[in-house]
Amino acid sequence: MKLLTTIFLALFCIFAAAQQPQSSASREIVFEDVAVITMVRNEVKEHQTVVTKNGKITGVGPVKKVKYGKDALVIDGRGKYLMPGLAEMHGHVPPIDDLQPMKDVLELFAVNGITTVRGMLGHPRHLELRTMVNEGKLIAPHFYTTGPSINGMSVTSPEAGAEMVRQQKKAGYDFLKMHPGLSRAKFDSIAATANKLKIPFAGHVSFGVGVWRAIEAGYSSIDHLDGFVEGLVPGIETLVEQQTGPFALQVADRADTTKIPQLMQALKAKNIWVVPTQSLAERWFSPHYSSDDFRNDPHKKYMSPNTMDQWIKSKDNLMNDPNYNVSKAEAFLKLRRKLVRECQKNGVGLLLGCDAPQIFNVPGFSTHNELEYLVLAGLTPYEALKTGTVNVAQYLKIKDAGTIQVGSVSDMILLNANPLDDIRNVKSQAGVMIGTKWMDKSFIDSALKRLERQ
């Protein structure tokens, strides 16, 4: 019996170890003979050694010219590519009291190479979650959180809106989350208070406010391209919101595209960043992506059957709406792609974000899809990768992130193929590193298996 107990304990220890990433605050973790995508510029440096320690990159250089200790964990990088980790700048973490679903969503992002997440619908327990992430207690990306939704229903008056801003600032949220339905008076009070207290606000643009006033007020980021199409439609002030459809789907064919340069100039002048969430738009509104496409999506297994059913119902309801028009939907998506492309061409800062988990967007996986849609809109693979790496570091004012160079944080993805050749190669992951935690392919596969919901 004693022998059996010993064997059981040994097997348990082996199994437990297999469920944990390799991590050490002091031991060096080294990538040997790897091709490095530095993101400092559009380049690949072949046959490099990258040394990390204590969550930082301490050495980068040609093989055999960079030294490291004998007890280092050495990862064979031959035939592989190392790039900075990606950010999801419009993600959602469940706004509920139960921490476990929150942890699961963050881990799903992490094992997909998403090393930073901005949660865009806050909850008081997200503050606790952020502390746990910062203390290294979870397998999770770096986590930034907005406060609970600021919208036309939650804000009962301009004074109540100002008070909500003060409360969320005091609580310690990183951003304010703007949702639709705000009147101009309510919005003006919220924006003035936020600017005074220096807490950034981001998200939707209310129809009653409009994109031009939103720009003037100083949004930190406008997400979903919300308000952009409406701002280009002549006579929009004569319409009610219900006539325009979600994100102006029904009126995009009436947009005056000669006003796009003015829009770009205004965004750049006020240093307002843009999170397109094009994956949400392409999958939800396109006549060429159906419920059956999602039913056949291998990643649906990470969502609960109830969530999946809700998404399919939302898509089907849209497609069956008598007001839905295929040609208008195609014009809408074409215009959105043009707006993304014009942001890039005119120096308006783009940030990677897909709004997962929302309709047909599964956390982690859909961030990779977003990169493909950015390339479809006209960005090069390098430009698309910048939206989730160096652009994010600039936006968050983090000097040591988003690149692979000495002094940068060791948030990285090891790939089996070059994403600069084909953006889809970002999905071909051999491992992920967040700080001091290295997750190899076997760990990632076991974590994904555990996170399946169906």
**pLDDT tens, residue by residue, 76-135:** 999 999 999 999 999 999 999 999 999 999 999 999 999 999 999 999 999 999 999 999
pLDDT of 12 reads 42
State the average pLDDT over residues 212-228.
98
Query: pLDDT category, 21, cuts 50, 70, 90?
Result: confident
Longest CA–CA span in the chain (Å) reads 83
Percent of the chain at pLDDT exceeding 90: 93
Residues sharing a CB contact under 8 Å with residue 47, sequence separation 6 or more, in sequence order = 33, 35, 62, 63
Cis bond leading into 305, ω under 30°? no
Return the sign of the alpha-carbon dihedral for residues 333, 334, 335, 338. Answer: positive
Asked if residue 22 has pLDDT above 80, the reply is no
365-371 contacts: CB < 8 A, separation 24 or more?
365/112, 365/299, 365/302, 365/427, 366/279, 366/299, 367/86, 367/88, 367/109, 367/112, 367/114, 368/112, 368/424, 368/426, 368/427, 369/279, 369/283, 370/276, 370/277, 370/278, 370/279, 371/423, 371/426
Q: How far apart are CA 147 and CA 284, in angstroms?
A: 26
Alpha helices, DSSP H, located in 228-325: 241-244, 260-269, 278-285, 291-295, 305-320
Pairwise CA distance, residues 352 & 347, whole Å: 15
The first and second tokens of residue 227, run together, are 């308000």
Each residue's pLDDT tens digit, 179-194: 999 999 999 999 999 9
Report whether 209 contacts 203 (CB < 8 A).
no
**Please, which pLDDT band fits residue 24 given cuts at 50, 70 and 90?**
low
Question: In the predicted model, is pLDDT for residue 5 greater than 90?
Answer: no
CB 103 within 8 Å of CB 447? no
Q: Is the pLDDT of residue 7 over 70?
A: no
Q: Is the pLDDT of residue 16 over 70?
A: no
Q: Above 50 in pLDDT, residue 6?
A: no
What is the predicted pLDDT for the residue at 19? 58
How many CA within 13 A on the CB side of residue 257?
11
Per-residue model confidence (pLDDT) at position 454: 67
Using CA atoms, how far apart are residues 2 and 283, in angstroms rounded to an integer?
58
141 close to 110: Cβ distance less than 8 angstroms: yes
Q: How confident is the model over 47-85, as pLDDT tens digits?
A: 999 999 999 999 999 998 999 999 999 999 999 999 999
**Which H or E element spans position 372?**
helix 365-377
Res. 272: pLDDT tops 80: yes
Tell me the average pLDDT across 195-224.
Answer: 98
What Å distances lie between residue 256 and 228, 275, 378, CA to CA?
11, 22, 21
305-333 residue pLDDT tens? 999 999 999 999 999 999 999 999 999 99
451 pLDDT more than 70: yes
Closest to 374 measured CA to CA, from 396, 411, 428, 382: 382
d(CA 40, CA 390): 8
